[in-house]
C-alpha cells in the first residue's frame, strides 16, 4: 500500500520509511516560528525549563498580530522576544514585515516537501505549496525550538477532486466557502485533505493560499495541493535550490474520497458567528454594512489587492462606511505602491494600514464595535473575534463592491447611488444615569459534571482574545467560557474537580494555550468531548490537562450536576447517580506519559 502526501512528508522527516495514520512519531521541523502572540510564552517556557535553542538558523520570530506595536502589553512581549533573539542569534521578522506564514513562503523558509510549525493556527497555509505546516501551542513550539523536532500523530487522509469548469466570478475564497458549506466545521476534523482537479491545477499561488488558509476552519489538519510548475519555479527562486515535491502514490489509502462538481459553485458569504455558516451571496444582498475589511492571511495577497483596486478605481466608498485594507506583507504593500493601487485605495476613501494580520488579531485595524456590521475577507467570524459586532465573510470582490454600495452586493450589481444610513426610533441611543498548585497525578477521578450540548465551541468562546496578554496561569481561570452564551458565569460556579462533558470539535479555532490553561487554573478534572479541535487536543495533552473522546455516551443518561467516575487508563466512565458504566477512548501511551510527567516540558 502506497502513501499519501502527508504520510510521505512525515516519513521523510522521521526515522521511519513508512508511516501510517494513528501512529505517534517524532518529526524534524525545518522551520520553527513563534509570533508576537505566543512568542513571549515560548521564551518563558524555554527559560523556566532550562532549555536552549537547537538551531538558530531554523528558528524565527514573526511579529504580525500587532505590527504597529500600539498595544503596550504586546510591545513588551515583542521586545522580550527581540532580546532573546539577540542573545541566541535568531532572526526576527519585525513589525514592519507582515504575516509570518506568507513571509515563510516568500522568503524560502518553507518549500514543497518541507515542515513548518508556528504559534499561528493557520500555519497549515503551507499546504498551498505542498509543504507540511501546523499551528501549535506555546509548549509545543518551545519544545521544537529546543529539540528541533516534535511528536505528531499521523493523520488519515481525504481526497477531494473538483470536477468541471469553475463558473465566471467564482473566486478562490468562494471555492473554500463552498467547501465549508459542504463539509462544515467538523466533517474533515483531524484529516489531511488533498485537493485535485483540472481547475485546481490552474490555481495560482495566491489562490491556493486563500483555500489552504481556511483548512483550519474546516477542522482539517491541512489542505494540501500538488505544486504545479509555476509553484515549483517560484519556490526554487526563493530558496536557491532544486526542489523535489512530494506526490501521493497511485495506491495511497484515503479514508474518504469525494468527487464534487465545481461548476455548481456560486459566490458565497459566511453568516456572522460561523465561518461554515455559508450561503449564496444572493440570499444576503442589500444587507446594510457599517464597515468592510480586505486583508488577513486568507486574502491579503497581491492578486487580492488588484481585484479590490479594479473595483474601487474611480469610485468612492459609501458615505459612513469605513473600508480598511491591509496587505499581507510589506513587499506586497510596496508593490501596491509601485502599481498605483495605494493611490486608488486612498482616492476611494479607504484606510490603508501597514502589513500584518489586522482584523483577525486584536492589535490592529479591522476590529468592529457593538452592533457594527462588517463584511470581511478574513477567515474567522466567531463572536468577538473581530470585535463586538457582526462579521460576514466574503471574497475581496464582494467586499470591495459592498463597500461602494453601502450594503452587501457583487461587482455586477453596484448601484449608481450608494445606500445611506437611516436611524429608526429603536436605534436611537438612550441616556442612562507564578505558582502552579501541585496535583497528585491519578488515573482515576470523580467529579461533578457540566453537560454543554454544543458543537464547535471555539477558543474565543473559551478564552477570549482580549485576555491574550495574560501569561500567569493562575489569572486565567476567571475568564474561562465567559464568551460562551449561557456560561458567562462558569468560572464563578465551577468547583475544583468538576468535569466538562461536551460535543464535537471542542476548542475549534486558534492555537492559544490559554484556552486550556484557564481550565487548569480552575482545577477542572477532565474535559470529555466527542472530538476536539486538532491544536486544542495537542495543547491539552501537552499541558497534562486530562481530555478524553467518545463515540456515544447516551447510555449513561448524563445530566448537569451528576457525579461520574472516570478512569483515564481503561476508559471506563460511570454515572454514580444511576450506576451505569461504559467505556470511552482511553489515554494513549503518549498522553499518559505526558500526563504523569506533569506536562510536555
Q: Which fold has domain 268-416?
A: Aconitase; domain 3 (3.30.499)
Q: Are 564 and 577 in contact (CB under 8 A)?
A: no
C-alpha cell at 352: 490603508
The neighbour count for residue 199, using CB atoms within 10 Å, is 17
In this prediction, residue 439 carries a pLDDT of: 53
* pTM of the complete model beyond 0.75: yes
Homologous superfamily (CATH) of 444-597 is Aconitase, domain 4 (3.20.19.10)
Q: How far apart are CA 241 and CA 585, in angstroms?
A: 45
Q: Are 511 and 535 in contact (CB under 8 A)?
A: yes
Question: Start-end ranges of CATH 3.30.499.10 in the chain?
Answer: 5-157+228-259, 268-416
C-alpha cell at 306: 488588484
Q: How far apart are CA 147 and CA 141, in angstroms?
A: 10
Any idea which of 47-61, 65-79, 194-208, 398-412 has the lowest mean pLDDT? Answer: 65-79
CATH class of 5-157+228-259: alpha beta
36 has a pLDDT exceeding 90:
no
Condensed to tens digits (0 to 9), the pLDDT of residues 131-164 reads 999 999 999 999 999 999 999 999 999 999 999 9
Our separate counts of H helices and E strands in the chain read: 19, 25
Residue 432 — pLDDT band, cuts 50, 70, 90?
very low
Question: Start-end ranges of CATH 3.20.19.10 in the chain?
Answer: 444-597
Strands 24-28 and 149-153 come out as antiparallel
Q: What is the mean pLDDT of residues 353-368?
A: 77
Q: How far apart are CA 162 and CA 166, in angstroms?
A: 9
Condensed to tens digits (0 to 9), the pLDDT of residues 157-205 reads 999 999 999 999 999 999 999 999 999 999 999 999 999 999 999 999 9
C-alpha cell at 11: 516519513
Q: Which residues contact 369 (CB under 8 A, 6 or more apart)?
A: 387, 388, 389
Look at phi and psi of residue 322 and say left if phi exceeds 0, alpha if psi is from -120 to 50, else beta.
beta
% residues pLDDT > 90 (the chain):
88
Condensed to tens digits (0 to 9), the pLDDT of residues 448-478 reads 999 999 999 999 999 998 888 788 999 999 9
Residue 422 — pLDDT band, cuts 50, 70, 90?
confident
Q: Are 133 and 116 in contact (CB under 8 A)?
A: yes
Share the mean pLDDT of the chain: 94
163 by DSSP, 3-state: which?
A: strand
The neighbour count for residue 535, using CB atoms within 10 Å, is 29
Q: Which residue has the higher pLDDT, 73 or 534?
A: 534
539 by DSSP, 3-state: which?
A: helix
Q: Are 572 and 20 in contact (CB under 8 A)?
A: no
Q: What is the mean pLDDT of residues 530-541?
A: 96
Cα–chain center distance at 389: 20
In this prediction, residue 399 carries a pLDDT of: 98
Phi (first) and psi of residue 414, to 5 degrees: -85, 125
411 has a pLDDT exceeding 80:
yes
C-alpha cell at 294: 480586505
Condensed to tens digits (0 to 9), the pLDDT of residues 283-334 reads 999 999 999 999 999 999 999 999 999 999 999 999 999 999 999 999 999 9
Residue 316 CB-density burial (10 A; 0-12 exposed, 13-18 middle, 19+ buried): middle
Residue with cell 462538481: 261
Residue with cell 482616492: 347
Partners of residue 62 on adjacent β-strands = 35, 93
Residue 98 CB-density burial (10 A; 0-12 exposed, 13-18 middle, 19+ buried): buried
Closest residue by Cα to residue 309 from 332, 358, 342, 354: 342
Q: Which residue has the higher pLDDT, 70 or 569?
A: 569
391 by DSSP, 3-state: which?
A: strand
Condensed to tens digits (0 to 9), the pLDDT of residues 74-90 reads 888 999 999 999 999 99
Q: Which residues contact 450 (CB under 8 A, 6 or more apart)?
A: 490, 494, 498, 499, 500, 501, 560
Q: How far apart are CA 12 and CA 27, in angstroms?
A: 8
Q: What is the mean pLDDT of residues 229-250?
A: 96
544 has a pLDDT exceeding 60:
yes
Condensed to tens digits (0 to 9), the pLDDT of residues 489-499 reads 999 999 999 99
426 has a pLDDT exceeding 70:
no
Angle at 85 between CA 84 and CA 86, to 5 degrees: 90
Amino acid at each position: 500500500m502506497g502513501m499519501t502526501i502527508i504520510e510521505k512528508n512525515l516519513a521523510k522527516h522521521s526515522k521511519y520509511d513508512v508511516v501510517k495514520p494513528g501512529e505517534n512519531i517524532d518529526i524534524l521541523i525545518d522551520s520553527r516560528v513563534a509570533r508576537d502572540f505566543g512568542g513571549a510564552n515560548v521564551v518563558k517556557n524555554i527559560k523556566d525549563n532550562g532549555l536552549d535553542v537547537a538551531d538558530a538558523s531554523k528558528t524565527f520570530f514573526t511579529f504580525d498580530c500587532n505590527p504597529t506595536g500600539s498595544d503596550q502589553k504586546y510591545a513588551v512581549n515583542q521586545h522580550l522576544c527581540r532580546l532573546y533573539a539577540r542573545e541566541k542569534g535568531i532572526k526576527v521578522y519585525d513589525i514592519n514585515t507582515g504575516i509570518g506564514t506568507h513571509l515563510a513562503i516568500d522568503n524560502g523558509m518553507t518549500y514543497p516537501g518541507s515542515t513548518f510549525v508556528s504559534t499561528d493556527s493557520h500555519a497549515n497555509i503551507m499546504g498551498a505549496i505542498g509543504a507540511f505546516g501546523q499551528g501549535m501551542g506555546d509548549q509545543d513550539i518551545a519544545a521544537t525550538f529546543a529539540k528541533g523536532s516534535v511528536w505528531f500523530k499521523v493523520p488519515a487522509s481525504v481526497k477531494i477532486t473538483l470536477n468541471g469548469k469553475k463558473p465566471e466570478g467564482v473566486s478562490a475564497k468562494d471555492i473554500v466557502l463552498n467547501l465549508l458549506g459542504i463539509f462544515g466545521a467538523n466533517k474533515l476534523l483531524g484529516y489531511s485533505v488533498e485537493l485535485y482537479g483540472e481547475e485546481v491545477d490552474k490555481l495560482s499561488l495566491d489562490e491556493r493560499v486563500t483555500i489552504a488558509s481556511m483548512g483550519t476552519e474546516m477542522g482539517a489538519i491541512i489542505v494540501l495541493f500538488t505544486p504545479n510548475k509555476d509553484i515549483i519555479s517560484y519556490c526554487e527562486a526563493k530558496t536557491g535550490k532544486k526542489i523535489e515535491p512530494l506526490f501521493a502514490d497511485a495506491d495511497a489509502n484515503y479514508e474518504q474520497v469525494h468527487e464534487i462538481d465545481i461548476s455548481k459553485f456560486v459566490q458565497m458569504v459566511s453568516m456572522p458567528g460561523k465561518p461554515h455558516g455559508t450561503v449564496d451571496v444572493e440570499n444576503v444582498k442589500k444587507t446594510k454594512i457599517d464597515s468592510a475589511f480586505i486583508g488577513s492571511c486568507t486574502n491579503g495577497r497581491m492578486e487580492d489587492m488588484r481585484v479590490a483596486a479594479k473595483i474601487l478605481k474611480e469610485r468612492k466608498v459609501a458615505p459612513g462606511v469605513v473600508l480598511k485594507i491591509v496587505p499581507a506583507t510589506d513587499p506586497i504593500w510596496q508593490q501596491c505602491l509601485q502599481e498605483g493601487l495605494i493611490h486608488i485605495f486612498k482616492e476611494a476613501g479607504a484606510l490603508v494600514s501597514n502589513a500584518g494580520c489586522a482584523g483577525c488579531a486584536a492589535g490592529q485595524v479591522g476590529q468592529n464595535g457593538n452592533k457594527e456590521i462588517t463584511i470581511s475577507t478574513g477567515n474567522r467570524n466567531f463572536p468577538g473575534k473581530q470585535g463586538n459586532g457582526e462579521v460576514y465573510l466574503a471574497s475581496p470582490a464582494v467586499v470591495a463592491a459592498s463597500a461602494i454600495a453601502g450594503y452587501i452586493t457583487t461587482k455586477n450589481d453596484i448601484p449608481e447611488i450608494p445606500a445611506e444610513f437611516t436611524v429608526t426610533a429603536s436605534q436611537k441611543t438612550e441616556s442612562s444615569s507564578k505558582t502552579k498548585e501541585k496535583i497528585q497525578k491519578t488515573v482515576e477521578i470523580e467529579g461533578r459534571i457540566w453537560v454543554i450540548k454544543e458543537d464547535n465551541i471555539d477558543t474565543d468562546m473559551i478564552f477570549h482574545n482580549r485576555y491574550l496578554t495574560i501569561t500567569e496561569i493562575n489569572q486565567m481561570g476567571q475568564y474561562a467560557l465567559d464568551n460562551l452564551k449561557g456560561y458567562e458565569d462558569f468560572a464563578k460556579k465551577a468547583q475544583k474537580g468538576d468535569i466538562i462533558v461536551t460535543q464535537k470539535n471542542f476548542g475549534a479555532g486558534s492555537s492559544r494555550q490559554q484556552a486550556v490553561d484557564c481550565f487548569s487554573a480552575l482545577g477542572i478534572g477532565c474535559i470529555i468531548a466527542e472530538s476536539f479541535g486538532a491544536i486544542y487536543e495537542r495543547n491539552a495533552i501537552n499541558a497534562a490537562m486530562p481530555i478524553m473522546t467518545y463515540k456515544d455516551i447516551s447510555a449513561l443518561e448524563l445530566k448537569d450536576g451528576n457525579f461520574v467516575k472516570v478512569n483515564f487508563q481503561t476508559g471506563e466512565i460511570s454515572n454514580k447517580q444511576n450506576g451505569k458504566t461504559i467505556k470511552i477512548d482511553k489515554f494513549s501511551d503518549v498522553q499518559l506519559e505526558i500526563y504523569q510527567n506533569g506536562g510536555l516540558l
